[in-house]
Structure 1
């Protein structure tokens, strides 16, 4: 499991580690990891031009000590100092290694091969001062390596307010931070490289989790030697309408990926005929262990939700059915995108997109159930505040019908016996990973995502991923 922690948790862990270690040991470990990452990015150090943009805190000290290591490897290192006082020992080390430092942007030499952002660290406030903005604009287009987090983002919320660094690579220390995983700040991080500082035992519970292949493998349902179709779980789908018959096909496709023992479809007769012509193994009404309700339901979505809830089993509530959620739904899973969640919460879409972590937690508390907020990094929150982040997927997944497939997939996992939080987060991970494989670097459709899921599950179970 990949964990992310808050600034407070990191500060406590660093303080505990510094009490055990020689003075300056943590910064030296961080600087060594940062310098190694820059060297790897550049493909070597000798003759390379490195610009450090340095603020007043320890983040700037990490950059300066790393710069000293790079200068010792033959790099031409310059530091633009944005404060009257910066980390003194780091600055002295840089100069001793042959690096240069100046407070004047116009006194810098030739354009660098890489810019190292040591402006502000995890204790900084959102936004950047004008002198930092001017320096970044001067070297627009040059690869940027952020030290710990891109300067200017809100570390604990993932919010972005005002100017901020957009990094090609972020080198972080000790643990991931919330901003590395949560939009919109995560989009400013580029690739993320974690340098181990030995803090794991002092960090405490994480603020966020992100499933990794081993975690998914452990959670995936597997049939036992005496299993039959009913013991493996039956998932029902109530979806589709005269206007949107395809939504039923896609929701069924997500449910009918082999993770549950049987799929039932209940909907308009002509839609049911179409569903069974494509998926002949799908049957009609009967007992289920979970329902998927809403995709393409149109005006009938409210009645679909009422009928599903009457069975007393977990329900995945998606698309049109979300408009009919008025009371708490314990044991269920809501799967809105930002616009749908905004409507449910009675706010505009922009605040949800600006602070998705805050809003998904609020929604999970309000409706007392798991809420899966779809996005670049999908968030899955439970009523107690626990959140998992999905980091699989590709931009090509933003395609019509993909959410219908996801709803069906989550429903199948619920029917197979996973708890709602696990079903939603495993389903989201599989959905994103299947899309990545199906896209292969190019466009894809929702149907191709569904087709890819059984192959992805096989690879995951075998350890091939």
Structure 2
């Protein structure tokens, strides 16, 4: 499990560790890991041109010490100081001793030093920075042509929230220390971070203090339901799907596809698209409705392609099994009714739907994804899966870490892919996973299936559904 901690937690752990170590030892650990990562990216250090953009404070110090290590290995290193009078004295001395060139960032040759560099180290602002880049730093970054490696966090992004207020560095890679920071996992800041590398510097972090966490293959594999010799279709989980309409029958087909390919023992379909569903999936158990009379289920999925049909909504929300609400169901469901449910509820909005539920502009949700998903979970007393390039899953429990899923691909932005995700997650709920785990595993498999299906080319929602078994096998392996 990847974990991400806020600045206060990181600072506290650093202080406790520094109290036990010789002075400067912690910074040397960070600089050694940073220099090693840069060396790997360069391939050949000797003769490479490296430019260090160093601000004041410890972040600049990490960059300067790393630059000194690269200089001692034969790189031609130039340091541009944005605050010469406040540059880290130890790092500056080490860099000069290694034979590097040190210049004020305002020097006439600064733009050319950046333009001809094979690698630029972004040590402008550390994790405590707030707001975007200052104008001079932003102008300097326009001259960069080589690889950009951010030190701990791309300068200009918010470490705790993933928000970006103004100009920010766009890194090819970020080398972070001790633990991931939420801004490295959550968009829009995630888009600035590039490839991530975590350097272990020995921080002792509280076990329950994470702001965000991301499942890895082993975590997902441990949660995947697996039938036993005693299993039958009912023990494996039966998903009820209320979806589709005369105008949108395909939404029902895709939701059922996600459920069947997601491990459900059986799917009960209730709605007007029964003929379309049976033509594609004859194993589906169809019912004329209402949902309360459709037969036993272990979870319900409601919403995809419903239009304005509310006929089954009351039955589903009154049930005592987990319910996933998506698409039109989000618009039609009453907040008070959702909050009054005793069984788990999962909402799966994209940014536009989340904005409508919160009464704000879509741009605000996209700019403040962590804040928005938490607010929506609290408002509906439900688990919320906020779709996006990095999907966020939040529970209404105050202080609980938000799950982040990075497995998707931009090719997932295609009609119907959310319907597949709803059916898949509904099948995991029916198999007995809790709301948080079902939504997290569903998002992980869904994104992975899209990667399998796409292989760098356009995909349809049906392609994603068909690739779910391959994603499942990939995780198992």
Q: Per the shorter chain, which TM-score range?
A: over 0.9
Instruction: Show the counterpart of 1:365.
Output: 378
User: Could you tell me whether the CA contact under 8 Å between 1:235 and 1:415 is conserved in 2?
Assistant: yes
Question: How far does residue 178 in structure 1 lie from its aligned partner after superposition?
Answer: 0.4
Unaligned runs of 5+ in 1: none
Instruction: Tell me the SS of whatever aligns to 1:241.
Output: coil
Instruction: Show the counterpart of 2:326.
Output: 318
Instruction: Show the counterpart of 1:127.
Output: 132
Equivalent-residue separation in structure 1 for 2:208 and 2:72 (angstroms): 37
Equivalent-residue separation in structure 2 for 1:381 and 1:438 (angstroms): 28
Equivalent-residue separation in structure 1 for 2:60 and 2:306 (angstroms): 55
Instruction: Show the counterpart of 1:42.
Output: 42
Instruction: Show the counterpart of 1:219.
Output: 223
Equivalent-residue separation in structure 2 for 1:359 and 1:410 (angstroms): 21
Instruction: Show the counterpart of 2:97.
Output: 96
Question: How far does residue 4 in structure 1 lie from its aligned partner after superposition?
Answer: 0.4
Equivalent-residue separation in structure 2 for 1:455 and 1:127 (angstroms): 42
Instruction: Tell me the SS of whatever aligns to 2:71.
Output: helix
Question: How far does residue 455 in structure 1 lie from its aligned partner after superposition?
Answer: 2.1
Question: How far does residue 147 in structure 1 lie from its aligned partner after superposition?
Answer: 0.3
TM-score of the pair, normalised by structure 1: 0.96
Alignment partner of 2:237 out of 196, 214, 233: 233
User: Could you tell me whether the CA contact under 8 Å between 2:308 and 2:332 is conserved in 1?
Assistant: no
Instruction: Tell me the SS of whatever aligns to 1:260.
Output: coil
Instruction: Show the counterpart of 1:343.
Output: 356
Equivalent-residue separation in structure 1 for 2:396 and 2:208 (angstroms): 20
User: Could you report, residue by residue, the CA deviation over 1:389-448 in whole angstroms, capped at 9, with x for unpaired residues?
Assistant: 001011111111000000000100000100111100110011011111111122111111
Question: How far does residue 224 in structure 1 lie from its aligned partner after superposition?
Answer: 2.1
User: Could you report, residue by residue, the CA deviation over 1:313-355 in whole angstroms, capped at 9, with x for unpaired residues?
Assistant: 1111000010123221451100000000110111111110100
Matched, 1:411 2:416: no
Alignment partner of 1:159 out of 150, 163, 170: 163
Instruction: Show the counterpart of 1:276.
Output: 278
Instruction: Show the counterpart of 1:447.
Output: 462
User: Could you report, residue by residue, the CA deviation over 1:113-170 in whole angstroms, capped at 9, with x for unpaired residues?
Assistant: 111100010011121112211211122x322110000001111111100111111111
Alignment partner of 2:303 out of 275, 294, 305: 294
Question: How far does residue 43 in structure 1 lie from its aligned partner after superposition?
Answer: 0.9
Instruction: Show the counterpart of 1:193.
Output: 197
Number of residue pairs aligned between Structure 1 and Structure 2: 458
User: Could you tell me whether the CA contact under 8 Å between 1:128 and 1:163 is conserved in 2?
Assistant: yes
TM-score of the pair, normalised by structure 2: 0.94
Unaligned runs of 5+ in 2: 287-293
Matched, 1:381 2:394: yes
Instruction: Tell me the SS of whatever aligns to 2:308.
Output: helix
Question: How far does residue 204 in structure 1 lie from its aligned partner after superposition?
Answer: 5.0
Instruction: Tell me the SS of whatever aligns to 1:288.
Output: coil
Instruction: Tell me the SS of whatever aligns to 1:90.
Output: helix
Matched, 1:303 2:311: yes
User: Could you tell me whether the CA contact under 8 Å between 1:126 and 1:154 is conserved in 2?
Assistant: yes
Question: How far does residue 454 in structure 1 lie from its aligned partner after superposition?
Answer: 1.4
Give the direction of change, closer, same or farther, for the CA distance of 1:202–1:25 in structure 2 (3 Å limit).
Answer: farther
